[in-house]
Each structure stands twice: as C-alpha cells, then as structure tokens.
Amino acid sequence: DDSPKEKLITFIISHNNRTSGFVPFHNGQEILLDRPYGRDINATACTTIVLVARGPGIVGLLSFASHQVGRYKDKNSRKEKRRVDILWVLDDVGQQDLVGNRLRELQNMDQDSVR
C-alpha cells in the first residue's frame, strides 16, 4: 500500500507531563525510544500501542500486553480493542526461552489479530 498513512508514524511527545505536540516521522528515519519507567503512559488514548523491549526488558512489557488482551476478552466489561505490537530485540538467542511460551499464549488469546 502506497498511501501516506502507511509510511508515516506520529508520536505525541511529552515533557514534564505536558504534551508538546505531534511529531511526524517518515519511513527510514531513525528515532531513539526511551522509557517512561514507572510512569503512567495513558494508553487509554491510543488505538495502537507499540511496546519495545531489549533482552530481559520483555518481562515487564508482557504484563501490560496481557492486561490489554484480557480487558478486551472480558465479556462483562468489553472495552474497545487496542492493537498491541511487540518489538523485542534479543541480546542472545537463548533469551527467547525466557518468555517464548508466554508470547505464544498471548498470540493464542487473540488468533484473529496475530500477524
């Protein structure tokens, strides 16, 4: 698809808990992603959430991802479905054994959305 929507990602950048604006990034442009360790990221305002982890950092993200899948699957309090993409960079191949089973469980919880 050559539409502009497919080639542009927009980030909402905040500094000291104030939103400073929308920042567009284009295909091929490099960015640095860094924390919000321990802070509320207000994911309720998003329809797509991209989680990025390196090495053992995946462990903390899986809890958040599980919560997002669970809140949609709960029939009693069905919420708007959010897309959760996980990008995990391994420091070494052996790290996949840490959470490989948990990642497969998450995929099985929402088979229609797995790519």
| Domain ranges across the chain | 45-113
The structure tokens listed for 75 are 């029939």
Q: What is the pLDDT along the chain (115 residues), one digit of tens a residue?
A: 455 445 556 665 555 555 555 566 677 777 666 665 556 666 666 677 788 888 888 888 888 888 877 776 666 655 666 778 888 888 888 888 888 888 888 888 776 655 5
Predicted pLDDT at 1: 47
Q: What's the predicted TM-score (pTM) here?
A: 0.60
Burial of 21-60, coded b for 16+ CB within 10 Å and e otherwise, reads eeeeeeeeeeeeeeeeeeeeeeeeeeeeeebebeeeebee
